[in-house]
A and B are shown apart, each in its own frame.
Chain A
Amino acid sequence: MGGRITPIDTAYFKGERSGGFSVIGTAVQRSDARGHVTGRTVFFEDLTPPGLTHVKIHRSTRHHARIDRVDVSGALQVPGVLRVITHRDVPNNWYVVLRLIGVGPDDEPVLAEDRVLYRGEPIVAVVAETEEAAREGAARVVVDYTDLPAVLDVEEALAEGAPIIKQAGTNHFVYEGHPCRRIRFGDVERGFAQADRIIEGRYSSSPIEHAPTEPTGCLVVPQGDGRLRIHSNTQAAFFTLDNTALILGVPPTSLRVVGGTVGGGFGGKVDVIVEPLACLAALLTGRPAKYVYSRAEEMQVSSTRAAERIHIKDGVMRDGRIVARQVTLYVDAGAYSRHSPYGTTKAAAHMPGPYTIPNVHVDCYCVYTNRTPSSAMRGFGVTIGDFALESQMDHVARELGLDPLRLRLTNAYRDGDMKAHRKIASGTALVEVIQSAAALVGHELPPEYLAMSSAERAEG
């Protein structure tokens, strides 16, 4: 076959690579490629069961407000509207997707009750014969609000006197009694005291959208035996099944999730958002129901990548050794937890980067604000951290007047090193990827750096 395939440099780790495979390591053509490029792959929206109904949502227009009154009478007058669904119709309205693995508390309503915490929060679902009728019905719902003070910034949310927006009583997730996920390794203050220089940096990011080609959605078809068949583009079929069953208060055996083919997910299809309402619509009307985000909803109300703010303080020696690193990291979870407490822990474990630093102090805060909930996205908890860490490494190299690759090699973690979260490093290869990339661009490294190895640390 033709095409450009990235070569493998087999000179590295020679003794560790066994061979003799017949199909492993070969460029087998992707089994779904032909279907994708010829339009024959079946996605959930290619199914059009008879009697299909459509679900659209009336959403909050406020960042943070009390709901004084919800009037759905206008929606019910729209021809083709079959049902409106409010929080009263949802058997177990409060949930958190990670409760299956013991992360709590339930902090998000499927449909808002007496308060909204972000613009775009769902309040009423409208089920109709056509998408147009559902959209028109949703637009005719009237909600009266009393605005409440909104918190739109992570550090303001943690400041003393900030309005508390969460029922749990704090604007941050509580990790076993602590306001943040902590890493404590060595003695960071002693490290700073012995350092030649202290070099600091602050880094931040905007929320971004997953932008999958196929928007998030599902189609629910009631079966003759009373079960619901959920055709979904979820990234996690059983996650969807179990959470939907818990929200609906039905046995999981009454639901079946069929999926497996997804037009891009990047983490945006891990939250369980569309399936419970589509199932409810199907149960209440006895007809198939489809709930799929419009492109605008995908961009405006689906979970974002969390905006982060990261402060790094390094204690460094003139020769480039980093002897202390303190990281304070704020994840903007937005209004609800979704997967953010988990991602924040992943961020903590990733610090201080792939470097062996004897004194490390990390505080990672999962902070609630009145912004769109963030959740999993490709590189969850790590991508923005890597931006900050590797910008900081360049900053340190510039400040010290050192070659940026040699600085990294000097500090690179290797097999047997203890990482800051007290896991012994193994199978490391930071040294080698740096050596290889340097060779690709003709960046000359002195012999002692070319002789370095992840598998062993030269004496002295």
Chain B
Amino acid sequence: MTLRRGRGYAAVNYPTGMNLGGDPSQALVHATTMGGFVVTLSSVDLGQGLRTVVAQCAAETLGVPIENVIVDTADTDTGPHCMGTFASRGTHRVGNAVVMAAREAREVLLQVAADELEVDAEDLETDGTGFVRLKGAAEKKIHVSEVALAAHFRQGRTISGRGIFLKEPSTPVPETGEMDPDSCQAHACTVAEVEVDDETGVIEVLRLYNTYEVGRALNPAIATQQVEGGAWMGLSHALFESTEPYYPHSREHGPVDFVQYLMPGPADLPEQTSMLLERPADNGPFGAKGIGEMTANAPIPAIANAVYDAVGVRLTSMPFTPEKVLRGLDELRAGRAG
């Protein structure tokens, strides 16, 4: 038995959103009586942190503390239309709709504040701590809660805004495939280091190195969770997961639980070293691109290529089971003998 090490590379791009059907998302923003801001969506948080990131988009645009922002998701009676959470579109499309709605609400906020302060709205700015103040005159200011109360009870105005992100639907030209199906592209390069046991065929991923270009990391902690969680999924996809082996010939033998459907546990996890780059997208909220899906992709070929580097077996069928490695090694030996 020999443990043989190898290193493999993969570089990928990934489309943010898909707009062959237009795929719009909408957002509404309104102020409560004392200056809380409710972002109303019908978008779904799958556990990736959408609510948090759109709250950041709203707070940044409104210029209020994030604690003032409430995000209400996914009730079709109250939330405006959203195509859904998929295609790496949440941060980008919902974020854009929220920014647009928050801008409109902020305009009213500043107008109401201007009337209260008896100044011009264009001379006002929000300061991110909860105050609206006169530019260049820090002492002339009013708290957002006062502005909201004035809007509701004295001025009779709604501090609210509407937003929609829609990219015109693209219909592919059937002859050539000419189309414009996405909003922007994010990028990644993964390097995998593996150890392959040439007696058992077992592949162990020792280390993964990932560089991701994400447009803008609106929340670096959530981006980290995507990068590392996605790498886990890619590794799982590469080495473990399958609804076969016996299906379709004997469906009864297909997995029915997590004892039979294997995925990596803590002992299978590699060390991960990652880096983010930012090249802001001109159509993204604060430049953000979507990275939700792509993080699972590059690890798969990087692992396959590392196995080739280690033992000379080109794995062309996922998942890369020990059996496939051993069959590849047998073929190599037979080739050498022949």
Contacts and interface: CB of A to CB of B under 8 A. Distances in A.
B297 A23 contact: no
Contacts of A404: 9, 305
A447 to B, nearest CB: 19
Nearest to A405: B9
Of B57, B188, B227, the most chain A CB neighbours within 10 A belong to B188
A226 interface: no
Interface stretch (B116-124, B132-140, B156-164, B235-243): B235-243
B72 to A, nearest CB: 8
B144 to A, nearest CB: 14
A318 B43 CA distance: 50
Contact of A32 (B9, B51, B175, B286): B51
Interface in B265-298: 273-282, 286-287, 289, 292-294, 296-298
B182 interface: yes
Contacts of B319: 206
Interface in B236-268: 237, 241-244, 247-249, 251, 254-258, 261, 263
Contacts of A391: 301, 304-305, 314-316
Interface in B178-220: 178-182, 184-185, 187-191, 209-213, 215-220
A171 interface: no
A328 to B, nearest CB: 14
B73 interface: yes
Interface stretch (B14-22, B104-112, B147-155): B14-22
B12 A390 contact: yes
Contacts of A353: 12-13
A24 interface: yes
Contacts of B43: 260
Interface string A233-249: 01111110100000000
B183 to A, nearest CB: 10
Contact of B216 (A25, A30, A102, A434): A25
B96 interface: no
B219 A26 contact: yes
B276 A8 contact: yes
A113 interface: no
A185 interface: yes
Contact of B305 (A10, A183, A394, A441): A394
B219 A28 contact: yes
A238 B191 CA distance: 40
A134 B255 CA distance: 23
Most buried by A among B21, B189, B249: B189
A238 B77 CA distance: 10
A251 interface: no
Interface in A338-375: 342, 345-346, 348-350, 353-354, 362, 370-372
Interface in A20-34: 21-32
Contact of A182 (B175, B280, B287, B316): B175
Given A345-B172, A386-B300, A208 B280 contact: no
Interface-centre pick from A395, A412, A429, A430 (highest chain B CB count, 10 A):
A429
B100 interface: no
Interface string A1-16: 1011111111011001
B81 A238 contact: yes
Given A178-B174, A237-B76, A378-B293, A430 B11 contact: yes
Contacts of B87: 380
A266 B233 CA distance: 11
A26 B7 CA distance: 34
Interface string A180-191: 011111000000
A30 B50 CA distance: 9
Given A24-B56, A27-B221, A238 B276 contact: no
Nearest to A395: B314
Interface stretch (A141-149, A158-166, A280-288, A295-303): A295-303
B114 interface: no
A238 B294 contact: no
A449 interface: no
A300 B254 contact: yes
B45 interface: yes
Given A24-B56, A349-B179, A437 B45 contact: no
A102 B21 contact: yes
B21 to A, nearest CB: 3
| Chain A interface residue number, banded | 35 or more
Contacts of B233: 378
B220 A21 contact: no
A93 interface: no
From B21, B46, B280, B293, name the one whose CB has the most chain A CB atoms within 10 angstroms.
B46
A258 B75 contact: yes
B174 to A, nearest CB: 4
B261 A299 contact: yes
A21 B221 CA distance: 16
Contacts of B308: 394, 398
A69 interface: no
Given A28-B66, A201-B316, A299-B261, A101 B22 contact: yes
B338 interface: no
A207 B181 CA distance: 25
Contacts of A408: 9, 11
B276 A182 contact: no
A176 interface: yes
Nearest to B9: A404
Contacts of B279: 12-13, 16-17, 427, 429, 432, 454
A259 interface: yes
B329 interface: no
Contact of B251 (A18, A236, A300, A454): A300
Interface in A382-408: 382-384, 386-391, 393-395, 398, 404-405, 408
A432 B277 contact: yes
A29 B53 CA distance: 10
A177 interface: yes
Interface in A426-460: 426-430, 432-434, 436-438, 440-441, 443, 454
A257 interface: yes
Nearest to B56: A23
Given A208-B242, A404-B305, A181 B275 contact: no
Interface string B59-102: 11001011000010111110101111111000000000000000
Contacts of A102: 21
A83 interface: no
B27 interface: no
Contact of A236 (B86, B247, B278, B318): B86
A295 B256 contact: yes
8 contacts: A24-B56, A101-B21, A184-B177, A261-B74, A295-B256, A300-B255, A389-B301, A421-B179
The 3 closest A-B pairs by CB, nearest first: A236-B84, A260-B74, A101-B21
Given A256-B75, A262-B47, A299-B261, 19 more contacts: A5-B224, A6-B227, A13-B280, A17-B287, A25-B219, A28-B56, A207-B243, A209-B243, A236-B84, A238-B81, A257-B42, A257-B75, A264-B46, A371-B248, A389-B301, A391-B304, A434-B11, A437-B211, A437-B275
